[in-house]
Chains A and B, each alone.
Chain A
């Protein structure tokens, strides 16, 4: 496949719910929705509190540190990732009590293990979008 025909990595399509989140990601900040009534965070962003059903959510910036909950090495690439394989995907438990997933960078497949500390890092998808990823927190 010619470089000009290479499929692009899918970019997120921000919604009225997620626009503050993606705006922050583009500035290399990571926001989580926080429910002050029960003192709990949630991810992915929703239109109400997962814990109470109320719409009293606040955005809070977090450090983005956590541990690997599970991982998989992608051998057959997803759409838009052709030529990148093999690459690692991790599920990460953040210190704030939520779980998310993304790419793991700067780590060999043999070195990733469950429980390993990781921290957020950033990928440039295109001129308009950054995306969050992880790397070992050594």
Chain B
């Protein structure tokens, strides 16, 4: 039997975050340095206490095939385990599991898991294969176009109520307004009518269905629970279950694009944790688009397939509600710092589990579910689905 996370022998002991800013003019290294410095200060550790590093390949540095080496060098880290993950927005929840496995295997003891990206200052990514030949020349509007196709298909098969998506947009905006690290331009109130009246990008997907790209960085420190106790750490969270799946249904040439890998990894992660959705105190889903969150709610099992609209309309998703969702605004209202956006939800979940979320604090949460989504394949739903369940230590 492979080692599991359920015995809580792995601990996340701190977090650091940089404010999201559009066109910051900063390098990826500089925002990474700020996030690293912040989490080291939070934990009282120094760079010499870190012996492992995990990161994500951002579009702002994707031309560098020695990215981990350069980043670790800039940050002053001597590491016995080093990992760059390139499954997009699924990379950082994935790195929690990868770091845990490395620690359990004895490759390292204390991992800085850091995500940094400055895509609104510099973009050097170059994706070939289906993208350059079969996507870009068609005129589809990138991810919004792909999700426009998904939404129309969903409307064909199920009942989609736009006021439910609007409610979700407003709930997250309320979090961003009181999140000092959110993009400033988004920290203003909105209501459901603002969502419904927003400009169309690629029908039926509106501007306010989408993320706002920005620059930013964030970092967490993962170690063994034994070492966390030796360090005298007071606050920790244990990753207790993780599942990921890449290229769901790849052999099906005409798949149902309203279905995703979450149909598998959602129930699987809950089973690993011996939990049901009722045991999840708050949900911090990856949110590139509002509809993606609704699909996750359905496929993980918070509600049935096609019941996402009714579920959202009938559930209090505010910090004090039955299922708080993306309490810091998520990427949709706090901004998406490129592929570093895939750890914003983990940072917010830790802030909540540690009781440090101030005006948006969820009352005494003990569990959190975070998710990740990676890549838009050719006329399919997203490529990687990842679910991470954490429990307060």
Which chain A residues have a beta carbon within 8 Å of chain B's beta carbons? 9-15, 18, 40-44, 50-51, 69-81, 84, 87, 89, 91, 93, 97-103, 109, 114, 125, 131
Known A-B contacts A43-B253, A91-B149; A73 and B142 likewise in contact (beta carbons under 8 Å): no
**CB distance B203 to A72 under 8 Å?**
yes
Q: List 24 A-B contacts (CB under 8 A).
A: A9-B137, A10-B137, A40-B253, A44-B133, A44-B378, A71-B149, A72-B148, A72-B152, A73-B203, A74-B139, A74-B141, A75-B202, A76-B201, A78-B142, A80-B139, A81-B139, A89-B139, A89-B202, A91-B153, A91-B257, A97-B254, A99-B254, A101-B379, A102-B138
B2 nearest CB across to chain A (Å): 26
**CB distance A69 to B254 under 8 Å?**
yes
Residues of A within 8 A of B130 (CB): 44
**CB distance B133 to A18 under 8 Å?**
yes
Apart from A50-B253, A72-B140, A101-B134, what 6 extra A-B contacts exist at CB < 8 Å? A44-B134, A70-B152, A74-B141, A75-B199, A75-B202, A131-B137
A22 nearest CB across to chain B (Å): 8
Q: Does B53 contact A (CB under 8 A)?
A: no
In terms of DSSP, what is the predominant structure of the interface of chain A?
A: loop
Known A-B contacts A91-B379, A101-B140; A74 and B152 likewise in contact (beta carbons under 8 Å): no
Known A-B contacts A9-B137, A78-B136, A89-B138; A72 and B254 likewise in contact (beta carbons under 8 Å): no
**CB distance B253 to A99 under 8 Å?**
yes
Residues of A within 8 A of B379 (CB): 69, 91, 99-101
Residues of B within 8 A of A71 (CB): 149, 152
Q: Does B230 contact A (CB under 8 A)?
A: no
Counted as pairs of residues, one from A and one from B, with CB atoms less than 8 Å apart, the total is 126
Which chain B residues have a beta carbon within 8 Å of chain A's beta carbons? 128-130, 132-142, 144-145, 148-153, 156, 199-205, 250-251, 253-254, 257, 378-379
**CB distance B149 to A125 under 8 Å?**
no
**CB distance B139 to A87 under 8 Å?**
yes
A130 nearest CB across to chain B (Å): 11
- Alpha-carbon distance A114/B154, docked complex (angstroms): 11
A10, A77, A80, A98: most-surrounded residue (chain B CB, <10 A): A10
Residues of B within 8 A of A98 (CB): 253-254
A89 nearest CB across to chain B (Å): 5
**CB distance A72 to B139 under 8 Å?**
no
A51 nearest CB across to chain B (Å): 6
| Closest A residue by C-beta to B153 | A70
Residues of B within 8 A of A87 (CB): 139
Among candidates A13, A72, A84, residue contacting B149 with C-beta atoms closer than 8 Å: A72
- Alpha-carbon distance A84/B199, docked complex (angstroms): 17
Among candidates A11, A15, A77, A97, residue contacting B139 with C-beta atoms closer than 8 Å: A77
- Alpha-carbon distance A13/B140, docked complex (angstroms): 17
**CB distance B141 to A101 under 8 Å?**
no
Residues of A within 8 A of B137 (CB): 9-12, 125, 131
- Alpha-carbon distance A93/B152, docked complex (angstroms): 15
Known A-B contacts A72-B205, A91-B149; A13 and B257 likewise in contact (beta carbons under 8 Å): no
